[in-house]
Structures are given as structure tokens and as C-alpha cells.
A = this chain, B = another copy of it.
Amino acid sequence: MAKQNATKKNILYAQSGGVTPVINATACGVIETAARHRSQIGKVYAAQDGIMGALEERLIDTGKENKTTITGLKHTPGGAFGSCRYKLKSIEHSRAEYERLIEVFKAHNIGYFFYNGGGDSADTAHKVSQIGAKLGFPVQCIGIPKTIDNDLPVTDCCPGFGSVAKYVAVSIMEASLDVMSMASSSTKVFVLEVMGRHAGWIAAAGGLARQAEEDPPHVILLPEVPLDQRAFLRKVKHAVENYGYCSIVVSEGLRNKRGQFLSDAGTRDAFGHAQLGGVAPVVAQLVKDKLGYKYHWAVSDYLQRSARHIASQTDVDHAYAVGRAAVEFALAGKSGVMPVIVRQSDKPYRWKIGEARLSRVANREKMLPKRYISKDGFGITAAARRYLEPLIHGEAYPPYDKRGLPKYVQLKKVLAAQKLPPFTV
């Protein structure tokens, strides 16, 4: 089975972890760029359902898709090839899986493995690059950054974050106009819950809606700042008494002073992270109990990370560029690296693609730095604003059909013929 022409190697691309509004734009960047280098690169396979599909030899042949469908990936949210939260453990612990992966690579003449994910995935890509060399089948492993949480180190920002940031800033701006309209006689406090387990980047982005002191959101509750209940309630009361209402953005990862999540569903995901949700009603009820204000709350959950309809142009550009760069890195013979976003200036915003070692990116979370958090802990600073603003710039609208709905594409997902015995994760 290793008798294929090995001079032109194939790419295996896989999406990992939670998806984003623009992860498919990265896939589009990979596929379109590879197509422009047909003399050097063979096929582009995409693992179905992420690394699980790679292990189970479920490889989607992207060459069987229409060109317009591939172009349409640029404006389609979700993970078009499927993703998963399956994490390969240490090589000692999961040797069989690493070896299987190399078997699959051999069987399908994979010379380039592109793993599109967050810190966990950078770690996996790093390990795969090591094991391949050890097993005598060297594969160029390239991590491609993706995470709405914006918590990867080294890169200035993560593709996926800018669009979620825009969604959250626009949504809290809009909902606050609603609350403001009715506050004199009705709802006085509105709480919007957003994602972010440990890092408060998404919640912080809500602060972009605020231009003047009286503007919403009046309070941002970050996972980096343990909730000081008395200070929080004082802040809410001040907003209601001075501006008529109080608009709050709360991160799902908000903790109390004892380090406990305010709302812990008690279940854990496959990576062992606690599954959260529902902190908004807890915060709203606290306000009601202590201050008596009528409230409303929203939990945007998956809506925020799939809202391609309000994606940021900067974010789409980044997402496409890191996909393109992965192919260019591969052609340049690189391995064990990740293309990253390098900021050259804030105003005007200028950026370029840089390069980072996967070992530097893996398993490290970048928290919101102190200088981005206002002194009282309930807002963001001018420095945060300078950092965040370029990331939500521009509206990359998807095309719409006659019915008034976005034209999101769906792939045919034609699988390559399997060549190996079955392997179940």
C-alpha cells in the first residue's frame, strides 16, 4: 500500500475542538492554496469528524467537491468536515493511536498533516511530528490556530475570536437599547452570558460597545476576576440609579472568591473540562434578591460561535490567511510549526503572518492581561480597546438566497477507499 508515487505527497487536514464561524474559511485557504501548487502537492484529504476520522481512516477527498462549494466554505459556519473533542494523550499512554495515525498516513501517502485547533491540538500536532520521525515515516506537521476563546499564546489573536467578539459587542449594544427603552417601568437589569471558561476575551469584547460612561455594558464579569459580590451590587445599583438600567456581560467561567464556578453543571467534557452554562440566571437572581430589580437574561451559547452572518472581515481574512500559510509552510519544508498572526500596528491596523514553534503554543492559555482590565475589575481599559477594535472591523456578510436565508454550503463528503483494517476509537 505504500507503492503510491511518493514524490507528490498528499495533505491531511483536520478540524479540532469547538468550531468557529470562520474555521471553514481556513479550510478554504488550505484547499485553494494547495490547488495552486498541483505540481508539488497531491490531494487534500480532510479527516471526517476531526482526529477520530483520521484514526478510523475516514478521509474526505476534497477534490470531489465542486469548486464553488469549496469557495462557499469561506462564508459557512460550523465545521464542514466535522470536528471532535478527542484528545490524544501522551505517546506512552496512547502509543497505539499514534502508530495507527502513522499507518493511515502511510496508506494514503500523507506527507503533510494540518491540525486546525487550539492549544490541545497544537500539542497533538507536535507529538505526531515527533512520532512520525521515530517510526521512520516523517510527516510535516503544521498546527493552524483556531479558537473563539482567543487564549493561544504567541499569536496576536486567534481566528474565530474576532467574529464572536463582533457578535457579542453588537448583541449587547442592541439588547441594551431594548432594555433602556423599557427601564423606566419594567426590566432594569439585563444579563448576557457568553463563552470563555478561563480567559475573558469574549466577555471583554462586549466592552467595545461602550463609548461613554453611561453606555452599556456597565458591568463585565470576567473569569480572571473572582466575583466581589458587594462591589458588583454597588456597581449595578449605581448604573440603575444614574443611567436608568444596567447591562451586564458575564463569562460562563465566572468564579466566586473560593474559586468555584458560579454555575457548574457538574458534568465534564472529553478533555476533562467542567461543562458550564447557566451563570446568567444565577447573576440575574442575585441582583433581584439583593436589589429587587426586575431582570432579563440571555444565554447565547452556540449562537455566538456560529454567527457567521455577523462575522468580522478581519477575522475572515486571518482565518483564510493561516490556511494559506500552512500550505506555504509545508512547501517550504517546515514542520512542528504554526502560522500565527503578528500585529504590526493598531491604527491603521496592519498585520502579517509569522511562525511559531508548536512546542511554544501547546497547552498554554493566554489570559486577559491585567492591563486590559479596568481597576475596579468590571470593565476594560483603553489598551484593551486598542487591541480589540481592529479584530471586529468590517462586515463579511455571507450571500443570501431568495428566501432571505444565508447560502451556507454543505459538502458531499466523498470518502477515500479504506485500505487498512478497521480501528475504532
Contacts and interface: CB of A to CB of B under 8 A. Distances in A.
B298 A302 contact: yes
Given A83-B181, A185-B85, A405 B303 contact: no
Interface stretch (A28-36, A235-243, A392-400): A392-400
A177 interface: yes
A180 interface: yes
A48 to B, nearest CB: 8
A185 B78 contact: no
Interface in A144-201: 166, 169-171, 173-175, 177-182, 184-186, 190, 192
Contact of A83 (B78, B171, B182, B306): B182
A377 B301 CA distance: 27
Nearest to A385: B403
Interface stretch (A111-119, A124-132, A307-315, A336-344): A307-315
A226 interface: no
Interface string A79-116: 11011111000000000000000000000000000000
A395 to B, nearest CB: 6
A392 B408 contact: no
A185 B405 contact: no
A170 B309 contact: yes
B403 A184 contact: no
Given A403-B389, A404-B394, A15 B83 contact: no
Contacts of A296: 277, 301-302
Interface of A is mostly: mixed
A169 B400 CA distance: 13
Nearest to A165: B404
Interface string A283-298: 0000000000010111
A77 B302 contact: no
Contacts of A415: none
Chain A interface residue number, banded: 35 or more
A306 B178 contact: yes
Contacts of A305: 178
Contacts of A395: 397, 400, 404
Nearest to A49: B184
Contact of A174 (B174, B298, B309): B309
Contacts of A297: 277, 299, 301
Contacts of A171: 303, 307
Contact of A404 (B84, B182, B184, B392): B392
Nearest to A392: B404
A356 interface: no
A206 to B, nearest CB: 11
Given A19-B182, A83-B181, A182-B19, A300 B300 contact: yes
Contacts of A15: 181
Interface in A365-410: 389, 392-395, 397, 400, 402-406, 408
B49 A180 contact: no
A19 to B, nearest CB: 5
Counting chain B CB atoms within 10 Å of each CB, the highest count among A185, A278, A281 belongs to A185
Contacts of A400: 395
A168 B125 CA distance: 38
A10 interface: no
Contacts of A84: 182, 184-186
Interface of A: 15, 18-19, 21, 49, 52, 76-80, 82-86, 166, 169-171, 173-175, 177-182, 184-186, 190, 192, 208-209, 267, 269-270, 277-278, 280-281, 294, 296-303, 305-310, 312, 314, 389, 392-395, 397, 400, 402-406, 408
Given A83-B181, A171-B307, 15 more contacts: A49-B185, A78-B181, A79-B178, A83-B182, A170-B405, A173-B405, A174-B308, A175-B306, A277-B281, A277-B296, A389-B404, A392-B403, A392-B404, A393-B404, A395-B400
6 contacts: A78-B177, A175-B306, A296-B301, A296-B302, A310-B310, A393-B404
